[in-house]
A and B are shown apart, each in its own frame.
Chain A
Amino acid sequence: EADIYQTPRYLVIGTGKKITLECSQTMGHDKMYWYQQDPGMELHLIHYSYGVNSTEKGDLSSESTVSRIRTEHFPLTLESARPSHTSQYLCASSGVRGNTIYFGEGSWLTVV
């Protein structure tokens, strides 16, 4: 069982609010990722990091930002949430040689 955790699992917030989705892993993995997935749709990579102080944008443009100050922690922030941000956000990590990617259980965000 992989040790990667996301909080909150479910969140409903109002338009204009700032929200941070937390992701932590205890496996010492260098690489971490954020994916966005609408219900029944494919996964899209929105951010990734290869280590501390490394962050890159993914294939899908996102208004969210990420930071990687510690190896185990990769939070995602929306400064001003909008209904179009309603989606599931999945955090993942993999090791240095890791070709296996482990996923968290996801954070379901609804913006009303």
Chain B
Amino acid sequence: GEDVEQSLFLSVREGDSSVINCTYTDSSSTYLYWYKQEPGAGLQLLTYIFSNMDMKQDQRLTVLLNKKDKHLSLRIADTQTGDSAIYFCAETISSGGYQKVTFGTGTKLQVIP
């Protein structure tokens, strides 16, 4: 079955770069996502990458995909205190015209001023 794994916690100093990692098991993933969840709020889509891409950059965010190793990472440059949140990795698999989404457990990012 599908499985998405993330480390639970990451602490960085303000201004440093953060790298949040994710591994997944199903090689038939079509899209992979990063979501951000601030305390008491719902999920906010940060960025996504199609499975035939290696990298995607969007302002301070860089997504790297190593399809061979089934490894996805999210790099946040110049991390700010407002980036403190839980970050969820997710993969979608299309099957029979439908799609299934599997989420990781989330990585809590703590930014130290």
Binding site for B on A (CB under 8 A): 2, 6, 31, 33, 40-43, 45, 50, 90, 92, 94, 99-106, 108
In angstroms, Cα B92 to Cα A31, docked, is 14
Binding site for A on B (CB under 8 A): 30-31, 33, 35, 40-45, 48, 86, 88, 90, 92, 94, 98-99, 101, 103-106, 108
Q: Are A99 and B42 in contact (CB under 8 A)?
A: no
Q: Are A50 and B98 in contact (CB under 8 A)?
A: yes
B1 to A: closest C-beta gap in Å: 9
B interface secondary structure, majority: strand
Q: Which A residues touch B90, using CB under 8 A?
A: 101
B109 to A: closest C-beta gap in Å: 13
Contact of A101 with B101 at beta-carbon distance under 8 Å, contacts A43-B88, A90-B42, A106-B41 already known: yes
In angstroms, Cα B44 to Cα A41, docked, is 17
Q: Are B103 and A43 in contact (CB under 8 A)?
A: yes
Q: Are A105 and B41 in contact (CB under 8 A)?
A: yes
Q: Which A residues touch B44, using CB under 8 A?
A: 103
Q: Are B98 and A100 in contact (CB under 8 A)?
A: no
Q: Are A42 and B42 in contact (CB under 8 A)?
A: no
A73 to B: closest C-beta gap in Å: 18
Q: Which A residues touch B108, using CB under 8 A?
A: 40
